[in-house]
Amino acid sequence: MNTSEYKILLVDDEPDILEFLSYNLKKEGYQVQAATNGKEGVALAKKMLPQLIIIDVMMPGQDGIEMCREIRETEGLKNVLIAFLTARNEDYSQIAGFDAGADDYINKPIKPKVLISRIGALLRRLSSDKEVGKIDVGGLKIDREKYLVVQNGVDLSLPKKEFELLALLASKPGKVFHRDEILGKVWGEDVVVGDRTIDVHVRKIREKLGDDLIKTVKGIGYKFDF
């Protein structure tokens, strides 16, 4: 992977954290810029169009989750990778972050080698996630490039993780996806989340699409059926 091709935006209100991250990422060859608050971070993201944004969750003013939501609603930034940098590890905060559109969590404190490994794994997903295309099944149209879902002619708005989970299941109707496979393909191998996270996202998809399309296979996982 040619690291010099990748632009990373860091957003944190702690100067020492920004300095630590910037130093280690620049040493690896990444293009790095930094902002000290959410508002500044959004403005800089629109200007530099990074491939990855690392955001501190707890910031004064606009916090990380609010910034993440704004990024996901901004044309040209909807598909950027977003990782939260946080000392918090509660399930509810992770679910809130993923609902807002986050791709990963990086917990403080973190060692330089671990940081570089996690960032590398995230950026490799940019190429491995290129299963772009369109799915048309069961009255449902899914456009992976545009992150668009249309059901019976009606446009539906799904947060990023809900969209990716639905697209995965709908890509192979009838196939039973094991929970581990879902976690690996939607959240990534390095992200530690529990089964409850999958269940919450499936429930929210069902609320929007109806209960018939995604079936629970007890003790195994889920499948798309129609």
Whole-angstrom distance, CA of residue 196 vs CA of residue 198? 5
Give the pairing type, strands 104-107 and 81-86.
Answer: parallel
Among 171, 176, 144, smallest CA distance to 160 is for 144
Q: CA-CA distance, 65 to 69, in Å (whole number)? A: 6
- Measure the CA–CA gap between 73 and 75, rounded to whole angstroms: 7
Q: Is residue 39 exposed (0-12), middle (13-18) or buried (19+ Cβ within 10 Å)?
A: middle
Provide the Cα torsion 169, 172, 178, 182; round to 10°: -40
For residue 94, give both structure tokens.
Answer: 């992770």
pLDDT in tens, 62-121: 889 999 999 988 888 877 999 998 776 655 666 777 788 888 888 888 899 989 998 988
Tell me how far apart the alpha carbons of residues 217 and 226 are, in angstroms, rounded to a whole number. Answer: 15
pLDDT in tens, 5-63: 899 999 999 999 999 999 999 999 999 999 999 999 999 999 999 999 999 988 888 88
The full set of domains in the chain, from first to last, is 3-128 (3.40.50.2300), 134-224 (1.10.10.10)
Residue identified by tokens 């930034």 is: 77
